[in-house]
Amino acid sequence: MAIAPVKELTSGVCPACNAVNSDNRKFCGECAESLRTVCLGCDIEMSVWDKICGECGGRQTELKQQATETAAEKTAILARETLTNTLGMTFNNIPAGTFLMGTPDDETYRGGDEHQYQVTISKAYYMQTTVVTQSQWTTVMGTEPWKGWWFLVRNYVTEGAHYPAVYVSWDDAGAYCQKLSEEGRQDVPLTHRSGVGVRVPGRNQDDVELWKRPQGIW
């Protein structure tokens, strides 16, 4: 998870001449055009002169204060070493930084593809401390993929709330993360939701590119 930046009631780019203006301007410094911004409540474009959004009725000063307070609270929460959600899933903080991946040349039984290289994690994130349990999967997805015909438990599967959810495909795992992300966003203000989510490890192009080269940034 990451913290999405708090939107500012900023003038930004002039809609007439595309000149970049400072946050406190009402008129473009190049062409004197009245500048525009977006509502902090509904993302609808509005004039910088408007104090109340004509679409949602949100008072911009109050919305900005709420967003700032929420961001501060979220920052404090995400600074913790561990987080536990409403499903009882515990996550450990993986801090940003650089570490050495691989094994040294003199390690016994070392494989030829285990060369050492530096990896940089550019943004801190949280990783669940255990695999997804059957109870957690059923709560989120409402299914039991470890059961076959007539709801009989498949071979080599131990059934139980705290046992791993198995017989889950790659696409199923992605759907689980998507649904869990959507549910997790419900308690997060609209202006912050873009930075909150759950993902299957390795399920993005950056990870693919990282494994193709000896050094990379996550």
Q: Looking at the domain assignment, is residue 11 inside a domain? A: yes
pLDDT of amino acid 211: 44
pLDDT of amino acid 218: 39
Same domain, 104 and 190: yes
How many domains, in total, are found in the chain?
A: 2
pLDDT of amino acid 25: 67
The C-alpha atoms of residue 157 and residue 148 are separated, in whole angstroms, by: 11
Give strand pairing partners of 59: 52
Q: Write down which residue in 47, 79, 111 finishes a domain.
A: 79
Phi, psi of 162 (to 5 degrees): -100, 5
pLDDT digits (tens, 9 = 90+) for 175-190: 998 888 887 654 443 3
Structural domain for 182, as ranges? 82-129+169-217
Same domain, 23 and 106: no
pLDDT band at residue 85 using 50, 70 and 90 as cut-offs: confident
- Does residue 105 register a pLDDT over 50? yes
SS3 content of the chain, % helix, strand, coil (to 5): 30, 20, 55
Could you tell me if 173 and 201 are in contact, meaning their C-beta atoms sit under 8 angstroms apart?
Answer: no
Same domain, 11 and 23: yes
